[in-house]
Amino acid sequence: MQKILLILLFIVCCFPDIWAKNGEKYTRHEVYGGIGFGPLKGAIPENAPYFDALSASYLFKNKDYSETLMAGYMISLSRNMAIGLSYSTFKMESELWINAAKYRTAVVSAKYNIWMLNARYKWLQRGSLSLYSRAGVGVINMKVDEPEYDDMGAFGSITGWENQNGFAWQVVPVGVQYTFFKHIGLFAEGGIGIESCFSAGLKLLF
């Protein structure tokens, strides 16, 4: 994973200079933070816990995801195009039920850390208001916590509930940004992927 992160950092640091040599030179930096809701569950890596003593798999029930906290940096390649890096994180908690027996055995939780390379294209500008689209790819790390057993003596330990890495992606067809005082911006995005279906936050531009 460290190699992948170094490659993403290299792209963000070097690509703007290559772009500037072959086109319009326009540089603007921004840092942002925000909160997101509703990550696409099908995009989230997930282990399949197994209970060896009964040769039975587990079912997840009453799964709950926290809000996604996100932060990032973008650098403009032109007045309409920008690239950057982002980090986001959220937590998951779920009841674990043995498939063969219809009762709960444990509660499990995990923390997800996501690093992505993002590209953004601004396709409409009206004064301080702009509309844009964004897409990102990267890696996600799932870090599991120890299960909280309902009855440790009866069920023993769970196997297969382990840390895991996976591919991360996010697509934002429409994002809106409003800038005031030239250096502060508010944004809201609607999209699909590992981060969220809806997010909003604050940007600092310089």
Could you report the per-residue pLDDT of 72-102, keeping only the tens digit for each? 999 998 889 999 999 999 999 988 887 656 7
The more confidently predicted of residues 43 and 5 is 43
User: What size, in residues, is the chain?
Assistant: 206
pLDDT of residue 159: 75
The more confidently predicted of residues 199 and 182 is 199
Q: Which two tokens stand for residue 179?
A: 């800038």
Of 48, 47, 70, 66, residue with least CA distance to 138 = 70
Mean pLDDT over each residue of the chain, to the nearest integer: 84
pLDDT over threshold 60, residue 154: no
Could you report the per-residue pLDDT of 4-39, keeping only the tens digit for each? 555 555 555 555 554 555 555 567 899 999 999 999
For the question of whether the overall pTM of this predicted structure is more than 0.85, the answer is no
pLDDT of residue 18: 47
